[in-house]
């Protein structure tokens, strides 16, 4: 089955189950730009490298599928805020925006294609578990300044630890999707970015869009958020700016390595020494 962008894309790749062969690794590394290879080589752990190279392959695949441009002609870059973008898009009659995130077991991509230059997108995925070691109340105390009073009220209203962790991760996922969209990072005052959840529970099949964003206490009507589950342990949020009134949310589609590499063209000769050095990196678990 081919991956099709069709104007918008929501893709999820389960990185924790991917252990590429040496041949797969060589092909993947040859299908990304040289500056990306240099950046990825700095990762200490193989898990981080694998998730990041999948993110690069997702971005290239999306631009190729969305625009029809030759795979090896696509140039990706990062803006001054480190958000990836399609660099050689001049002359295109469509605006392409995309964002990737990886955490827990997954790497995800959200992409959009439209005629509107101010259409923006951001995405974040979170595993709904707490592994911090400290008691949950102590962890929440340390995180106090990252959520508004109303958000904390929602999180603490859950009757179980698992419920509170799930609500915490859902709020955090929303905030990350927003700040990644605007490119400000989480150094901003996150208490001024406050979410009011609509649906109490998230679904695997049907994304919800009834959560509201308040910026400095004011309802931000030009922002919409898709929320869903990828599986029972991972929530995902997509932030959307300036979408049409009749917009319909999209569920995430699970994709494979073969789907991502289908139609790919190497950008450079295979560097076996580079790949051997990557193979020497250890997995965290």
The domain that contains 96 carries what CATH number? 3.90.470.20
Domain limits for position 184: 120-241
d(CA 151, CA 209): 18
CA distance 252 to 188: 29
Indicate yes or no: pTM above 0.85.
Answer: yes
> Do both 218 and 153 map to the same domain?
yes
143 and 191 assigned to the same domain: yes
Report the pLDDT value the prediction gives residue 187, as an integer from 0 to 100. Answer: 61
pLDDT at 2: 46
**What was the pLDDT predicted at 1?**
38
Q: Do 124 and 170 fall into the same domain?
A: yes
Determine, yes or no, domain membership for 55: yes
How many angstroms separate the Cα of 275 from the Cα of each of 28, 80, 145, 256?
10, 29, 43, 21
Give residue 273's pLDDT: 96
Clarify whether residues 88 and 166 are in a common domain.
no
Residues 103 and 162 grouped into a single domain? no
The confidence score (pLDDT) of residue 276 equals 96
Distance CA 128, CA 227 (A): 14
| 128/204 same-domain check | yes
List per-residue pLDDT tens for the chain, 285 residues long.
344 444 789 999 999 999 999 999 999 999 999 999 999 999 999 999 999 999 999 999 999 998 888 999 999 998 887 888 888 776 666 788 999 999 999 999 999 987 766 778 999 999 999 988 889 999 999 999 999 999 999 999 999 999 999 999 999 999 999 999 988 655 678 889 999 999 999 999 899 999 999 999 999 999 999 999 999 999 999 999 988 888 889 999 999 999 999 999 999 888 999 999 999 999 997
- Does residue 199 share a domain with residue 126? yes
Q: What is the pLDDT of residue 185?
A: 58
Q: Total structural domains in the chain?
A: 2
């Amino acid at each position: 089955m081919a991956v099709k962008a069709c104007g918008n894309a929501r893709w999820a790749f389960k990185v924790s189950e991917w252990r590429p062969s040496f041949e797969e690794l060589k092909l993947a590394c040859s299908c990304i730009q040289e500056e990306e290879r240099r950046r990825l080589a700095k990762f200490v752990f193989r898990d981080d490298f694998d998730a990041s190279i999948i993110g690069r392959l997702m971005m290239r695949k999306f631009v190729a599928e969305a625009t029809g441009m030759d795979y090896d002609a696509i140039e990706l870059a990062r803006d001054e805020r480190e958000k990836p973008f399609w660099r050689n898009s001049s002359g295109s009659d469509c605006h392409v925006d995309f964002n990737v995130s990886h955490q827990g077991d997954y790497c995800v991509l959200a992409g959009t294609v439209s005629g509107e230059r101010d259409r923006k997108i951001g995405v974040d995925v979170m595993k709904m578990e707490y592994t911090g070691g400290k008691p949950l109340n102590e962890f929440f105390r340390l995180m106090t300044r990252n959520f508004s009073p109303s958000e904390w009220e929602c999180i603490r209203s859950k009757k179980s630890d698992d419920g509170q962790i799930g609500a915490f991760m859902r709020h955090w996922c929303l905030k990350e999707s927003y700040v990644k969209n605007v490119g400000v990072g989480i150094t901003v005052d996150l208490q001024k970015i406050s979410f009011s959840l609509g649906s109490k529970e998230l679904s695997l099949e049907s994304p919800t869009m009834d959560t509201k964003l308040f910026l400095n206490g004011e309802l931000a009507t030009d922002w919409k958020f898709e929320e869903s589950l990828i599986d029972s342990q991972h929530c995902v949020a997509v932030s959307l700016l300036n979408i049409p009134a009749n917009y319909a949310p999209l569920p995430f589609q699970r994709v494979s390595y073969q789907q991502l590499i289908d139609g790919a063209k190497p950008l450079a000769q295979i560097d076996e020494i580079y790949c051997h050095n990557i193979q020497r990196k250890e997995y965290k678990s």
